[in-house]
Amino acid sequence: MRVTADRKRCVGSGMCVFLAPAAFDQDDREGRVLVTAERPAPGLHASVRKAVAGCPVAALSVTGDDEGD
């Protein structure tokens, strides 16, 4: 699994940080998403997928599968 974020699309809602704090943060200046775990550990995959699905502006995406890509 690989996580990416479109920081231009991000509106800083913080939903990603709320749902998956081990994989996302927000910058101090604009509050936009920061991906802190581009390739999250398998134990984080479920929360990352919830964060991606919960992003109100679809600024997050996941590629690969849960098996390790």
Residue 30 belongs to a domain: yes
Residue 68 belongs to a domain: no
Can you give the CATH number for the domain in which 8 is found?
3.30.70.20
Residue 12 belongs to a domain: yes
Q: Structure tokens of 57?
A: 């502006």
Contact 55, 16 (CB under 8 A): yes
Residue 22 belongs to a domain: yes
Residue 15 belongs to a domain: yes
Q: For the segment 48-62, what is each residue's pLDDT rounded down to a tens digit?
A: 999 999 999 999 999
CA 31 – CA 49 distance, rounded (Å) = 21
Which CA distances in Å does 10 have to 32, 33, 60, 61, 66? 6, 7, 8, 12, 25
Number of domains the chain is built from: 1
Residue 36 belongs to a domain: yes
Residue 69 belongs to a domain: no
Q: For the segment 11-69, what is each residue's pLDDT rounded down to a tens digit?
A: 999 999 999 999 999 999 999 999 999 999 999 999 999 999 999 999 999 999 766 55
Structural domain boundaries enclosing 25:
2-63
CA 56 – CA 69 distance, rounded (Å) = 26
